Structure 1
Amino acid sequence: MTEGQEHEWHIELDYMRAQLRYALDNLDSLSKRNDVKGKIENVYFTLDELCEQTKGESK
């Protein structure tokens, strides 16, 4: 992994962490449930993309 890729991963991971924190903090709030679902879906899809991108790198 290059230094640039590593920096991108840190940015993505920080963003996902913030989204998960928001989702966890608002999990019980029915008025924010669509926001919570959206944040969790964003994290899932970002992780899915990162996993797909790195599949070939581990070989």
Structure 2
Amino acid sequence: MYDFGDLVEMKKPHPCGVNRWQIIRMGADIKIKCTGCGHIVMLSRREFEKKLKRVLEKADNADN
């Protein structure tokens, strides 16, 4: 499963050529940021789960 701060790979790459996104907001909507160009996209949770390919790296959530 995915969580705040994780790096994820989506099914389609971003036009800048990078396919690594960082989750920067969790809720009913999920906001992700391209690690290549910094572009931010907000998707509904349902749409995000449909477009998600895999989780690349889990975030270090040591503050929990």
Q: Structure 1 length normalisation: TM-score?
A: 0.22
Instruction: Tell me which of the two structures has the higher relative contact order, counting C-alpha pairs closer than 8 angstroms and 6 or more residues apart.
Output: 2
Counting helix residues as a fraction of each chain, which structure ranks higher?
A: 1
Structure having the higher strand fraction is 2
Higher Rg:
1
